[in-house]
Amino acid sequence: MRRFLDNAIESYSWNRAVNCVRLYSGRFLDYKRCPSVHEVSIAASIAEGVCEEASKQGVDHVDAVHVRIGAMAGVVKDSLSFAWDVVVADTLLAGSRLQIEEIPLTVYCPACETERTPTSPAILVCPVCQAPTPRILSGREMQVVGMEVSVAVPHR
């Protein structure tokens, strides 16, 4: 997977991965639904790590992968989900679900001395007192938190 993505990134547009996804999947894709190279590389990285861990654990197939992604992580949820389906084809993750938990942006307001959720991630001010809130407490995460697997129960 990594070799394919490296070649695709060198050969195609940095703005859209439509051609590399088309090449990889072998089917026509709607340009507006195609993920950016950023989400394709994130999906590939997650898949690589999960495949490695699943192999260590002796797992034959993964049903779902759970990730946490913060509002300011710079990841488009729909693009990542779409990229996931393309990247995991023909792996032990084929057909698995990518469960994305979105983590809201939380900041500390020094004027109010409490945690707040700004109305916009682009403007870091307290929604109550309008004081600047440069200290981000959560919302930048990008973590793989677990995987679901099916375990065959031996017949007696």
Q: How many CB atoms lie within 10 A of CB 77?
A: 14
- Paired residues of 108 in beta bridges: 115, 135
Residues 6+ apart with CB under 8 A from 48: 1, 2
What domains are defined for the chain? 2-103+138-149 (3.30.2320.50)
Q: What's the whole-model pTM score?
A: 0.71
**pLDDT tens by residue, the chain, 156 residues:** 433 333 333 333 333 333 444 444 444 444 444 556 788 899 999 999 999 999 998 888 899 999 999 999 989 999 999 999 989 988 889 999 999 999 999 999 999 999 999 998 888 999 999 999 999 999 999 999 999 988 766 666
The widest CA-to-CA distance across the chain, in whole angstroms, is 67
Cα–Cα dist 62/60, whole Å:
7
